[in-house]
Structure 1
Amino acid sequence: MSPARGPDGGTPGEGKPRRFGLRRWLRRWVWRLALLLLLLPPVLTLVYAVVPPVSTLMLGRIAQGLWVDRDYVPIEAISPHLIRSVVASEDARFCAHAGIDWAALEGQLEALGEGERVRGASTITMQVAKNLYLWGERSYVRKALELPLALMLDAMLTKTRLIEIYLNIAEWGEGVFGAEAAAQAWFGKPAAELTRTEAARLATALPNPLVRNPARPSAGHVRLARLNRARAAEIDPHLDCLPQTLLAR
């Protein structure tokens, strides 16, 4: 007795194993991709502990054939004035937290709940996480992803390495990345020779590097740099996580 056939002439259920097999294959590869994405940041962080990293923004420009100016230098080749100014401007509690400034984050969440303007409460470590592993456009999704990545970076890298990476991947103009390229582009000198005033102008340009010109600052930029220079002069007691030899040069 021949088996019953369906409307298309095939036996009932014919082709289902193939569909189930394809679904199982897709599910397997989705899980593998998810595992790869989960493991990629810690693996890259181990590499970046010894190898100069590049940011996603730099990679994006390179992929588009756009100009990128970056000369990675060790922290010892960067002026201590710039180290002080950047920490004073971007993350004064850099040495006190483990990647996330929870007090600042809580304050910003309260401000958001009250309808006030939120500044982001990003630490230097969170900005390193964004620059290395995420995208530039602001969103709550990106901010949520920054948190675990910042905790991971702080646990795996020293504070000295974190500030060195940040100063070498920060954007300081169109296609200008890192302290050395910025010092050469804006002041025609190595990063090691930056003065207090030049360092303050560079540090206060970071929030808006495509608009603020450290070499020809606006009146508002000059005021910000003046405030930053005063804060940087008093930041040393809060930099106990960095070798004092870096600051005594």
Structure 2
Amino acid sequence: MAKGAAKRTSSGWGRRIARWLAKAAIAFVLLSLAFVALYRFVPPPFTLTMAGDILSGRSVTKDWRSLDTIDPDMARAVIAGEDSAFCSHHGFDYTAIAAAAIRNASGGKIRGGSTISQQTAKNVFLWQGGGYARKAAEAWFTVLIEAIWGKRRIMEVYLNVAETGIGTYGVEAGARRYFGHGASRLTEREAARIAAVLPLPKKRAGIAPQGFTRRYGNTIARRIGVVRRERLDACIR
């Protein structure tokens, strides 16, 4: 009888845990859908990365701008530097992911195969860093924003929440920090320099860049013309 009672108790706990996990999963899905739907129309007020800066004692500078008021070369610059297939994929660039995996396996230095959509999902809803749980959540939110927001909104949010310097978020704040004017009248070179900062915003500067940052910015500046001519930004125009 004692063994039978123990089995029933164990089975009861198992069912309770399963029900709790099911409720947690449903709550996560509903909450994530609600926030993605809300941010389709409302600017995200803050991100976990911003919260980390504040907790570290840093001030945070950000200034939301609609995509229509940001110089078109800024979007072209991030497409050129971060995700040339932005308008043709559905959130994931499997070719870039495979190339990154191959380089990683061979010991080469990589920046990863994340698309602008994935980076936006991470920046808005999640935290920086790796881990399978974060990557899985990133994939989920990427699917949602591709389906609910569309490309223009994804680009608009990305250009407003991406870290462009220490405590500096969005291309408007980045343009004013580095060049003394807003993002509505960026030159190709200025847009390229901001885009070159994005992979490592706490270690790179958009003004008087040196070494790799300078070379990378020059490369992006040349690619902006390619994006324009080949209409790689057609989905946001």
Where on the TM-score scale, by shorter chain, does this alignment land: which range? 0.7 to 0.9
- Give the deviation of 1:140 after TM superposition: 4.2
Specify the alignment match of 1:162 in structure 2.
154
Specify the alignment match of 1:57 in structure 2.
49
- CA RMSD between the two structures: 2.5
Q: Is it true that 1:44 corresponds to 2:35 in the alignment?
A: yes
Higher alpha-carbon Rg = 1
Specify the alignment match of 1:149 in structure 2.
141
Aligned residue pairs: how many? 229
Cα displacement string for residues 174-208 of structure 1 (whole angstroms, at most 9, x for unaligned residues): 11001111111111111102111111111111111
- Give the deviation of 1:20 after TM superposition: 9.1
2:236 aligned to which of 219, 222, 242: 242
Q: Which runs of 5+ in 1 are unaligned?
A: 1-12, 244-249
C-alpha change, 1:217 and 1:117, in structure 2 (3 Å) is closer
Q: Is it true that 1:205 corresponds to 2:197 in the alignment?
A: yes
Cα displacement string for residues 105-156 of structure 1 (whole angstroms, at most 9, x for unaligned residues): 1222233344444431000000011112221013344334322321221111
C-alpha change, 1:235 and 1:145, in structure 2 (3 Å) is same
SS of residue matched to 2:60: coil
Specify the alignment match of 2:102 in structure 1.
110
Code of the residue aligned with 1:160 in structure 2: it is R
C-alpha change, 1:65 and 1:30, in structure 2 (3 Å) is farther
State how far apart, in whole Å, the 2-side matches of 1:94 and 1:20 are. Answer: 49
C-alpha change, 1:43 and 1:197, in structure 2 (3 Å) is same
C-alpha change, 1:39 and 1:187, in structure 2 (3 Å) is same
Code of the residue aligned with 1:166 in structure 2: it is Y
- Listed as ranges, the matches of 1:1-249 within 5 Å are 28-53=19-44, 54-62=46-54, 66-236=58-228, 237-243=231-237
SS of residue matched to 1:234: helix
Code of the residue aligned with 1:156 in structure 2: it is I
Code of the residue aligned with 1:234 in structure 2: it is V
Code of the residue aligned with 1:32 in structure 2: it is K
C-alpha change, 1:115 and 1:212, in structure 2 (3 Å) is closer
Q: Which runs of 5+ in 2 are unaligned?
A: none
After TM superposition, the score normalised by the length of structure 1 is 0.82
State how far apart, in whole Å, the 1-side matches of 2:189 and 2:233 are. Answer: 20
C-alpha change, 1:220 and 1:72, in structure 2 (3 Å) is same
Cα displacement string for residues 194-245 of structure 1 (whole angstroms, at most 9, x for unaligned residues): 11111111111111111111112114322211111110111022112121xx
- Give the deviation of 1:29 after TM superposition: 4.3
Q: Which moved more, 1:157-166 or 1:217-226?
A: 217-226
C-alpha change, 1:32 and 1:61, in structure 2 (3 Å) is farther
C-alpha change, 1:112 and 1:140, in structure 2 (3 Å) is farther
